[in-house]
Chain A
Amino acid sequence: MKQFVMKRIGYCVLSLFLLSLTIFFFVRVTGDPATLLVEPGASPEDIAAIHHQFGLDRPLIVQYGLFMASVLTGDLGQSFYYRTPVTELYWSRLPNSVMLASAAMAFSLLIGIPSGILASVRVGRFWDNAGKVFALLGLSLPSFWVGLVMILVFSVYLGWLPSSGSGTPLHLIMPAFALGWYFAASHMRLTRSSMLEVLGSEYVKLARLKGLPQSLVIAKHAFKNALIPVLTLAGINFVIMISVAVVVETVFAWPGVGRLLYEGIAFRDFPVVQGTVLMLGAMTVVVNLVVDVLYAVIDPRIRLAS
């Protein structure tokens, strides 16, 4: 088991190293951040001063070395745009992203699981078809479009909800829906297929043969077993939600990590892009590591096979 865990940790470190290399060099391909901090027509001296201030006049390999050295001490660098440590910006925004992801996850499970169960027990009928349409729309419609339509309807026309920002539970409703709908669709599809598999198993057939009502068969026997893969996916999706909320956070002006990443990209703020992507990557890697380890703990075949 120890060997299994160490091996997994090794893969995590390697993944993060490759991620750091990729993001460091790719972000520099996008262009010169100095040109976005001055107006066209600015003197070459002004631009050179900015390059020097941000260390961009050093060789790339030196910049990377300095970046990695500071990352190892927990310092993700200083934002070009905000002139504030990236760690400070990231940790100040992360609670908002966690709050949004939690609300979106709650929505996606509350909608996705019951609709998936309903679709599985009404295969080929109205609720199953409705579920398929729901899943198709959720997976196809872009979240920014969903968000803008919701703002138009619920803020502008009906005046029920605030259009943007944060601070009250009302601010959370629309962005949580816009973010969670895609995941509700995927949770619905997985619940449906998982339930169908469990409903076809021997012990469920036995339960039916014993004369148990359908509702009890589903609630007591099938549901819990069908839920395992859904919750596994939900756990991983939670971290992904934080990462992919860029568009939703920008549309709703939600002050989260996704919006920070958007700002970093818009302003060629290399440290912010590098730091945010690395932190989000680290979260994903850690969650996957935990899931792998848990799987190995639950199922000895997995750790023995590795």
Chain B
Amino acid sequence: MESFAFDRPNTNLTRREVLAAAAAASLAAGAPRIASAAPSGQLTYGVHVALTPNWLDPAETQGIITPFMVLYALHDAMVKPMPGKAEAPCLAESWTAAADGLTYDFVIRKEAKFHNGEPVTAEDVKFSYERYRGTSHDLMKGNLASIETPDPQHVRFKLKKPWPDFLNFYSNASGAGWIVPKKYVEKVGDEGFKQAPIGAGPYKFVSFTPGVELVLEAFEGYWRKPPSVKRLVMKVIPDEATRLAALKHGEVDIAYSIRGELAEELVKTPGLALKPVVLQAPNWIYFPEQWDPKSPWHDLRVRQAANLAIDREGMSQALFLGYCKITNSIIPYTFDFYWQPPAAAYDPAKAKKLMAEAGFANGFDAGLLYCDSSYSNMAEIAVNNLGEIGIRAKLEPIERAGFFAGYASKKYTKGIIQGASGAFGNAATRLAAFVVKDGAFAYGSYPDIDALYPQQADELDHEKRASMLAKMQQLVHEKSIYAPIWQLGFLNGIGPRVGESGFGQIPGFAYTAPFEDLTIKS
């Protein structure tokens, strides 16, 4: 039976090392909290999206990153990404997984409490999982055989069949692992809970006006440590320029999403600081015609040439002040089973040579380059770059919802696609959607990659599975199925009062967290 008190991927550890680490983690987790001064002061956020009551209830978690902006403050999870750990023990002090992959045992932290003072128990964990109805809930419920609660500190998940990604989905790709108080929810109902939520997070609910403002106050009984900032106010300011103005005027201390020329203005403003965060959202160029033998894209050299033609650094500098993370993979580097490819290169001369070798010395008409209109500035640069090596394309920006609907319905069979994804999961789930046969966004596939996919899905040994997934990613890279560009840089601003902002503490997370670590400068 494997024991996990720290995250994967790891080196090959001996059983003794694992158990020793588990014991150390338990000791650290159970150690008394260091006494600290009472929380004081207030930090105000300028938030870029409308706050919705759904984000106050983990059961409604959608498959987007924005609800976690609030979840990390108000609630807590059994296991969740934390600084330095992709799967950090939180409300769960430790857990073990059976060798057959059918059982997961969790030990709940004794000092974990809800905001109403009630302890977090196994019944709450079971209840939270069973009431979950957000993203991937079919998968979570469908794979589960039963949840046992042998005592208040222990909960056991039994699966119908081995599911190697269970912990990934429980901790990362859904809200099922975020725990709410069963007695309270049953008393007030789901709607009542959204109006006055109680969680186990570092901040407790004070007031909420949908779409306008959320006010939270420090929960001094938080197991990890009491927050140092007493009050958090999240104000919705939809317009980016107004958000920056509010930051400059001192009305907000933290402003999310300040881009382009406004980000340049922020950098030049004394007292303000730009806080970029790399999101788990790679952007790429995709060649849907590569499976058509009559298409120029069928030739590997043409796809390689397109890869070499994209000036990623220049694009990042022009559009995001250079803060995007250039990547050569469609899998975010923070994902489990990520394989590190060779660095992306910009070499138009070599690209032209490859084009000539492929018989396209004079280039060819590539048709339309379809993109989400929000990122048409990026696509425009890509069109220009490709044009420099003779691949002539015309930009076709499409409003976001329409673009992704068309992308998923395999409408863009001719031309080029500029796509992206910030979906949760791991390398396997990303490959399933974008590479493997019958994937939601895969316009074709390769048999050697397809053959590996079911093998890794059934593999319980982490190392063997990692090896298979690495091989799949390597093949994706060698075949130049995609021309990955970058992982998006999400630019934010902070004001002079902010000490520790929480930006960048959790790799791939767009917002400030952990909230208990935020500080105000004295």
The residues of A with any CB-CB pair to B shorter than 8 Å are 30-33, 35-46, 49, 81-84, 89, 92, 148, 151-152, 155-156, 159, 162-165, 250-253, 255, 259-260, 262-263, 267-268
Offer 20 A-B interface pairs, CB within 8 angstroms, sorted by A: A31-B405, A32-B401, A32-B405, A36-B401, A37-B62, A38-B423, A39-B424, A41-B434, A42-B135, A46-B63, A46-B135, A46-B138, A83-B53, A148-B239, A155-B249, A250-B238, A250-B239, A252-B242, A262-B238, A267-B50
B402 near A163: Cβ-Cβ < 8 Å:
no
A148 to chain B, nearest CB (A): 6
The 8 tightest CB contacts between A and B, nearest first, are: A31-B401, A41-B423, A41-B421, A39-B423, A38-B63, A163-B245, A41-B433, A253-B237
B54 adjacent to chain A (CB < 8 Å): yes
A162 near B63: Cβ-Cβ < 8 Å:
no
B3 adjacent to chain A (CB < 8 Å): no
* Chain B contact patch, size range: 35 or more
Task: Give Cα A37–Cα B279 distance, bound, in whole angstroms.
Answer: 18
Task: Give Cα A151–Cα B247 distance, bound, in whole angstroms.
Answer: 12
A39 near B422: Cβ-Cβ < 8 Å:
yes
B137 adjacent to chain A (CB < 8 Å): yes
Question: Which of A33, A92, A159, A253 gathers most chain B CB within 10 Å?
Answer: A253
Task: Give Cα A40–Cα B398 distance, bound, in whole angstroms.
Answer: 15
A43 near B251: Cβ-Cβ < 8 Å:
no
Task: Give Cα A92–Cα B135 distance, bound, in whole angstroms.
Answer: 29
Measured between beta carbons, the chain A residues less than 8 angstroms from B54 are: 81-83
Measured between beta carbons, the chain A residues less than 8 angstroms from B137 are: 49
Task: Give Cα A137–Cα B400 distance, bound, in whole angstroms.
Answer: 35
B5 to chain A, nearest CB (A): 30
> Which single member of B211, B235, B419 contacts A40 (CB below 8 Å)?
B419
Task: Give Cα A45–Cα B137 distance, bound, in whole angstroms.
Answer: 9
How many contacting A-B pairs (Cβ < 8 A)? 144
A148 near B211: Cβ-Cβ < 8 Å:
no
Measured between beta carbons, the chain B residues less than 8 angstroms from A35 are: 400-401, 404-405, 408
Q: Which B residues, 230 to 249, have Cβ-Cβ distances below 8 Å to chain A? A: 235-239, 241-242, 245-246, 248-249
A128 to chain B, nearest CB (A): 36
> Which single member of A49, A148, A164, A252 contacts B251 (CB below 8 Å)?
A164
> Which single member of B139, B210, B420 contacts A45 (CB below 8 Å)?
B139
Question: Which of A36, A39, A165 gathers most chain B CB within 10 Å?
Answer: A39
> Which single member of A36, A44, A163, A253 contacts B400 (CB below 8 Å)?
A36
Measured between beta carbons, the chain A residues less than 8 angstroms from B63 are: 37-39, 42, 46
B50 near A81: Cβ-Cβ < 8 Å:
yes
B107 to chain A, nearest CB (A): 31
Q: Of all chain A residues, which has the CB nearest B424?
A: A39
B435 to chain A, nearest CB (A): 11
Taking A31-B402, A38-B135, A49-B137 as contacts, is the C-beta distance between A162 and B249 under 8 angstroms?
yes
Q: Of all chain B residues, which has the CB nearest A30?
A: B401
A18 to chain B, nearest CB (A): 26
B235 near A263: Cβ-Cβ < 8 Å:
no
B266 to chain A, nearest CB (A): 12
> Which single member of A32, A49, A156, A263 contacts B211 (CB below 8 Å)?
A263
B52 adjacent to chain A (CB < 8 Å): yes
Measured between beta carbons, the chain A residues less than 8 angstroms from B249 are: 155-156, 159, 162-163
A82 near B245: Cβ-Cβ < 8 Å:
no
> Which single member of B136, B246, B251 contacts A46 (CB below 8 Å)?
B136
Taking A155-B245, A162-B249 as contacts, is the C-beta distance between A82 and B211 under 8 angstroms?
yes
A84 near B434: Cβ-Cβ < 8 Å:
no
Measured between beta carbons, the chain B residues less than 8 angstroms from A268 are: 401
Q: Of all chain B residues, which has the CB nearest A161?
A: B249
Measured between beta carbons, the chain A residues less than 8 angstroms from B289 are: none
A82 near B433: Cβ-Cβ < 8 Å:
no
B212 to chain A, nearest CB (A): 4
Task: Give Cα A178–Cα B423 distance, bound, in whole angstroms.
Answer: 40
Q: Which B residues, 207 to 237, have Cβ-Cβ distances below 8 Å to chain A? A: 209-212, 235-237
Task: Give Cα A8–Cα B405 distance, bound, in whole angstroms.
Answer: 44
Question: Which of A33, A45, A159, A163 gathers most chain B CB within 10 Å?
Answer: A163
